[in-house]
Amino acid sequence: MRILLVSDDGIDSAGLNVLAESLSLKHEIFIIAPKNKRSCASQSISLGEISYETQNPGKFKLKVAISGSPADAVKLAVLYFMKDNLPDAIICGINDASNLGAEIMYSGTVGAAFEGAYLGLPAVAVSMADKNFTEGFYLAAKFIQEYLDKLRLNNLPKNSVLNINHPACPSKGVKFCKTYVHYYTDHYVSLGKNKLKLEGNPIFDIHPDSDVMLCNSGYITLSLLSLNRNDDIFFEKYKELVGDILD
């Protein structure tokens, strides 16, 4: 399988390189990623100039560092570097923190996977809950390596992304689950004159079967995310509530 690997933690990040080494045993690996860390880039793309540096790929097929975002890396792969022989799958990660619940909105890892889905290719985001649990990168990579065929990526719905999170411990097993929005105790702290920094901790008062709670309970979580931003549940009711403005 021809696999494109992307990471929002940068081309030299531990998670990306562990995953590349693991998957290269059976697959052709192409790496295109930001030169530096671009966490929380979401699905942003660059409309201005993007510079790139082709590096020695070693055992891999291609290794390119770019100045742009993780989503730029995917777009460049599909529309430029690999346009004549597209990847069979795009795997984004392994991210060095979880991408669960509300974190999905900001994640450059998930954003890159969404860009892949938007461009019509099977895409997966893979994250590990705590970078301090370094063994977790190897455990997450082992899971992807062993079960890649069984994940049936070619059967993913159009515009959908498979989001995988590994806990910060040896896993108890795998859970298919939905993602729920959770919140943080967000606040800004002063770092001196005219300087602020966002800080906060997650609030875990949400559904026990959510991706957030299950991953924090020690399970590998698999969630299916969609580019579709419609609120299908409330749409008809809302239309009825405000229908008089359409008269």
Residue pair 130/140 in contact (Cβ under 8 Å)? The answer is no
d(CA 19, CA 241): 50
Question: Residue 163: pLDDT above 90?
Answer: yes
Placement of tokens 């998670």 in the chain: 15
CB-count burial class (<10 Å; 0-12, 13-18, 19+) for 219: buried
User: For 119-145, what is the mean pLDDT?
Assistant: 97
Residues 241 and 190: beta-carbon distance below 8 Å: no
Taking all residues of the chain, what is their mean pLDDT, rounded to a whole number? 96
Long-range contacts of 183-190 (CB under 8 A, 24+ apart): 183/102, 184/102
The H or E element containing residue 92 is strand 89-95
Question: Which residue ranges make up each domain of the chain?
Answer: 2-180+207-246
Residues 165, 211 contacting (CB under 8 angstroms): yes
CATH architecture observed for domain 2-180+207-246: 3-Layer(aba) Sandwich (3.40)
User: How many other β-carbons are positioned within 10 Å of the β-carbon of residue 72?
Assistant: 24
83: exposed, middle or buried (Cβ count in 10 Å: 0-12, 13-18, 19+): exposed
Whether residue 244 is predicted with pLDDT greater than 80 in this model: the reply is no
> Among candidates 71, 110, 99, 224, which has minimal Cα distance to 160?
224
> Which helix (H) or strand (E) covers residue 20, if one does?
helix 14-23
Q: Output the pTM of the full model.
A: 0.95
pLDDT in tens, 55-100: 999 999 999 999 999 999 999 999 999 999 999 999 999 999 999 9
* Phi–psi pair at 76, nearest 5 degrees: -65, -40
Q: Are 31 and 64 in contact (CB under 8 A)?
A: yes
% of the chain surpassing 70 pLDDT: 99
Q: Where are the alpha helices (DSSP H) in 35-97?
A: 70-76
Q: What percent of the chain stands above pLDDT 90?
A: 94
